[in-house]
Chains A and B, each alone.
Chain A
């Protein structure tokens, strides 16, 4: 009886492991397929690739439109991160610490860009930008992406702010620090992990964004996702797979960095 139930449990555990493995494969395999495809020597996207080469990586770095899109993406995502992180942190501070009437309603309003379908935001921004002549400009893209990225910073910064003991800041004040110095020297270092996580999400949000960019990037402010979109429609060659592979590697690195940051924050908990 005891032996039976033990072996029964072992079978159950094996079945669970197998099922979990299958789910993981189902989730990850479509993304990973592009990696061998990107090293293909063929002219068209094909799996499995008939032979291997680095020609599509070379193609990416040699073609002006790909390089421009890559540079645009980094510039736009970088500026978006700075803007969204600054605004989002200040908003979170106000929401958590300030005396805000209808706090829940105001918070919900700030988070709407996360909930509203991207296409709705895209259409709205498109209409507005037409009159403001911001379509196809880097500042236009940065502003639109800031709206989308901002809620991620608010959510992450609010979480750390809520977990913070405000008496630590009061202690700094009582010891002679002005409100600004107390914030800079004590509060900011303590909430930094949350802000950093928010910044990473802001960067990824902008870097990945396609729908709004399709509407407003025009010709000048084309980003990598937009370029990939047109690439797959007009030249079905493995350059897209090469770019995808590089993006997967980059995202993996970014999240690894976040993991390390979080781990370090966990090692010295904020009392």
Chain B
């Protein structure tokens, strides 16, 4: 079984006056794991349901494996779908649930039994075929839903927040499992979540959605390190967002005068011109704290520690530097010295850690 390419071409969906999905164009490559990431109401689930065939697009086209699926009802699309609530059939046993798609495809007898058993073993439930659904834990139900969506070897697997109902430990375990199965089977996977950490762990590429629009599509490192919009910067990971006006711009880099504080900040070259207002984003872990005033690095601001939160492997500081409030995340080992509130420090970061984002 190999994956099929999924193409969304200018897909739009209106409900009355409101556009829930706006002109979404996206190519999910065969065998790729793509995550639609966004807050609730961003249109990510509607986009997934359009691919599954449960929602008709108001405009645009969806192509799976090169063929348009416009007007094709869900049961003829041959896609595996895993729902947030698992949507198992409570009146059937585990095996009957998994056998259901085979039954719909007129696969029966020994062949069906063999494939159901193989699918259950794939999700490590080989022993539980005879159980009733109510006798399973949440994690086991999730595995049954996965086995049921995979047993008929669909080329594409769609998942709508499948781990939303599980606790943290189980969720992390299932993330690895899903990733392993997807790679093992070479499936194309489209995964919907609002959990950015989950998206970063699972995905080959992430499409970040907000208000029905795709803001950025890229590999996890790309969207994290080079967010295209202020929304992406803010939604994926923590960030410090500063406003300023470009003072100089050259191929070596830019200098931005922060408003309203006035200090100058240096960043890598970007498509900006002097006099242009911009936003800068700096990740909390890119900032470092030094004792006292120190000598000027490429970017250095004097400040005072306002708050220090112990997070185990790191310490999260809130530092006031003039009118700016910055979040700093410093890795922490047991013997490291820490800064107490009221300590005078210098916040510094390398030039390349400054990221220009469009508002």
A residues near B (Cβ < 8 Å) are 165, 167-168, 170-179, 181-182, 185-186, 189-190, 268-271
List, in ascending order, chain A residues with CB within 8 A of B104's CB: 175-177, 181
CB of B100 within 8 A of CB of A173, answer no
CB of B152 within 8 A of CB of A167, answer no
Cβ of B105 within 8 Å of any chain A Cβ, yes or no, is yes
Give chain B's interface residue range (CB within 8 Å of chain A).
Answer: 20 to 34
Cβ of B87 within 8 Å of any chain A Cβ, yes or no, is yes
List, in ascending order, chain B residues with CB within 8 A of A271's CB: 85, 88, 90, 133
How many pairs, one residue from A and one from B, have CB atoms within 8 Å of each other in the complex?
77
Q: With A176-B101, A176-B152 as given contacts, are A171 and B87 in contact (CB-CB < 8 Å)?
A: yes
List, in ascending order, chain B residues with CB within 8 A of A176's CB: 75, 78, 101, 104-105, 152
User: CB-nearest residue of chain A relative to B98?
Assistant: A175
List, in ascending order, chain B residues with CB within 8 A of A269's CB: 90, 134
CB of B54 within 8 A of CB of A175, answer no
CB of A177 within 8 A of CB of B91, answer no
Complexed CA–CA distance, A98 and B41 (Å): 24
CB of A268 within 8 A of CB of B152, answer no
List, in ascending order, chain A residues with CB within 8 A of B316's CB: none
User: CB-nearest residue of chain B relative to A169?
Assistant: B87
CB of A174 within 8 A of CB of B52, answer yes
Complexed CA–CA distance, A179 and B78 (Å): 15
Q: With A177-B104, A268-B134 as given contacts, are A172 and B89 in contact (CB-CB < 8 Å)?
A: yes
List, in ascending order, chain B residues with CB within 8 A of A179's CB: 73, 75
Cβ of B132 within 8 Å of any chain A Cβ, yes or no, is yes
Chosen A-B contacts, 18 in total, with CB atoms closer than 8 Å, are A165-B87, A168-B88, A168-B89, A170-B54, A170-B81, A170-B83, A171-B148, A174-B75, A174-B77, A174-B79, A174-B80, A175-B81, A175-B101, A176-B152, A177-B75, A177-B100, A185-B100, A269-B134
User: CB-nearest residue of chain B relative to A186?
Assistant: B89
Complexed CA–CA distance, A98 and B134 (Å): 30
List, in ascending order, chain A residues with CB within 8 A of B148's CB: 171, 175
Q: Which of B130-176 contact A (CB under 8 A)?
A: 132-134, 145, 148-149, 152
User: How far in angstroms is the closest Cβ of chain A from B58?
Assistant: 16
Complexed CA–CA distance, A268 and B52 (Å): 29
User: CB-nearest residue of chain A relative to B106?
Assistant: A176
CB of A170 within 8 A of CB of B87, answer yes
User: How far in angstroms is the closest Cβ of chain A from B222?
Assistant: 31
User: CB-nearest residue of chain B relative to A166?
Assistant: B87
User: CB-nearest residue of chain B relative to A271?
Assistant: B90
User: CB-nearest residue of chain B relative to A188?
Assistant: B91
User: CB-nearest residue of chain B relative to A173?
Assistant: B74
User: CB-nearest residue of chain B relative to A175?
Assistant: B101
CB of A178 within 8 A of CB of B88, answer no
Complexed CA–CA distance, A222 and B59 (Å): 62
CB of B132 within 8 A of CB of A268, answer yes
Complexed CA–CA distance, A95 and B101 (Å): 29
CB of A173 within 8 A of CB of B89, answer no
List, in ascending order, chain B residues with CB within 8 A of A270's CB: 90
User: How far in angstroms is the closest Cβ of chain B from A186?
Assistant: 6
List, in ascending order, chain A residues with CB within 8 A of B89's CB: 168, 171-172, 186
CB of B90 within 8 A of CB of A190, answer yes
User: CB-nearest residue of chain A relative to B133?
Assistant: A271
- State which of B75, B77, B91, B145 has its C-beta within 8 Å of the C-beta of A190: B91
Complexed CA–CA distance, A174 and B145 (Å): 12
List, in ascending order, chain B residues with CB within 8 A of A182's CB: 75
Complexed CA–CA distance, A176 and B91 (Å): 18
Ranked 7 nearest A-B pairs via Cβ = A176-B104, A171-B87, A174-B81, A175-B101, A167-B87, A173-B74, A167-B83
